Amino acid sequence: MNMKAHLDQLGIQAENPGVQIGASSASIGATISSLSPADGKTIGATGVCSAADYEKAIAAATEAGKEWRTVPAPLRGEVVRLYGEALRHHKDALGALVSYEMGKSLQEGLGEVQEMIDICDFAVGLSRQLYGLTMHSERPGHRMYEQWHPLGVVGIISAFNFPVAVWNWNTALAWVCGNACIWKPSEKTPLTAVACQNIWNEVTADMEHVPAGLSCIIQGDYQVGEMMTQDKRVAMISATGSIRMGKIVAQAVAARLGKSLLELGGNNAIIVEPDAELKMVVPGTVFGAVGTCGQRCTSTRRLIIHSSIYDQVVEALTSAYSQLRIGDPLDENNHVGPLIDKDAVGMYEQALKSVVEQGGKILVEGAVLEGAGYESGCYVKPAIAEATNDMAIVQHETFAPILYVMKYDTLDEAIAMQNGVVQGLSSAIMTTSLRSAELFLSAAGSDCGIANVNIGTSGAEIGGAFGGEKETGGGRESGSDAWKSYMRRQTNTINYSTELPLAQGIKFDF
């Protein structure tokens, strides 16, 4: 694959700005280098946002929000539609960059860009459906209704594992809702953000009704993110990342009584019932566990298998794992690419040690791969470990391709195991029993924000609201009525009579 041609198409230079305000940018200054986990080579670098540059960006975003909120919502939707069309044009190049900079397979990189396109399509329709309600007033000659207004500026902090899609889940909705956006991408995947901004600039270059500060990017580490989380001018922070990071962000935003939307860790499980069909269990589990090299918030971490079929399922999974092809993510023949960096490799190795130390058993051996094609040092073998749900390492979200398998005897026991972690993002049950499926989906079933039947835990469709409960954060992005997170609700009462009756029948004579 000619990555240089893709980088040129996306406008990626050897050195790229650390701050982008529309098509304007700040000087380079200090830099962040982006190294591909696929081959260990430097792709390029970006500058780092300074405090002074941040002030320029937030000032521009604040003014843009004031202007953009007066643009009719369907016209805002038209801009997002055109951005979606541009993403279609650049899909191959951007998908390849996602794969090369992050390490996920090319198919997954292209799929991530397709999610961007899909959310743009969703947002276009939404721009004509920002509905409020009408209510009957208890006072004669009065009318009540509610409407939704833009927040102003929405700050977005994204993670490396979905470097472009999660940003666009937020921006597409925030833009049609009338907000400006300022984005701090992961310092591990800075160039995909530059590419997205360059595409945006292509689309809006000649649009007089699109203010420059509508889309801003600030590059850097957590200190740059803190500028946003502590800034009262940023009405809402949408943050994706670890539980630890989310708690820090939540406290900072709450301290100024701001609004936050958190998409944090997952410790997702699939329950396998005795009547489950192996032809569905195996592919659903394998993709969930090894897709993106186990670095999805929705990755399958735990497989809770009925004791009567435990050996059969483990044998089938072991056979499937032996067929996995690990290597260059840009080679479509490979199933699994690398971890994001050597720090992630270290955590993977420590997790496997912890399994044994805590009484577990390795069923499919893991290893760090070496030799030709693995020079980056970031390639590992997906592993399967026999464990119990109460083990400390199982309770922890390990962002790596390690699957923990365990037994159960009754469905109530399995559901208790599924729910017996602090995270609450995604969950699934494999069964042909209507009773089991309905129990799993009931109030007495899964406590996760996502609960599936006969599909895995990994992935979600644009049309549904995405997010989880408990220490996953409680936020919702993407479909359904998630758009309301990016707006403020206002209740309105109009008196069209010639009298002024008070509410609740109160009399106030003078």
Report the share of the chain in percent with pLDDT over 70. Answer: 100
- Annotated catalytic residue, options 115, 263, 397, 471: 263
Q: Which of 217, 213, 384 is nearest to 310 (CA)?
A: 384
Cα separation, 199 vs 191, in Å, equals: 12
pTM (2 decimals)?
0.96
Angstrom distances, CA of residue 90 to CA of 86, 184, 392, 494: 6, 22, 44, 49
The pairing of beta strand 268-272 with beta strand 383-386 = unpaired
Q: What is the pLDDT of residues 347-390, one digit of tens each?
A: 999 999 999 999 999 999 999 999 999 999 999 999 999 999 99
Q: What is the pLDDT of residues 51-66, one digit of tens each?
A: 999 999 999 999 999 9
For residues 113-131, give the mean pLDDT.
98
Residue 29 scores a pLDDT above 90: no
Q: Residues for the chain: how many in total? A: 510
Cα separation, 7 vs 94, in Å, equals: 9
Report the share of the chain in percent with pLDDT over 90. Answer: 96
Please give, one letter per residue, the 3-state secondary structure of 206-265: CCCCCCHHHEEEECCCHHHHHHHHCCCCCCEEEEECCHHHHHHHHHHHHHCCCEEEEECC
Specify the pLDDT at position 509.
Answer: 74
For residues 273-285, give the mean pLDDT.
97
Specify the pLDDT at position 307.
Answer: 98
78 annotated active-site:
no
For residues 413-426, give the mean pLDDT.
98
Specify the pLDDT at position 503.
Answer: 78
146 annotated active-site:
no
- Annotated catalytic residue, options 181, 297, 378, 448: 297
**Average model confidence (pLDDT) for the chain?**
97
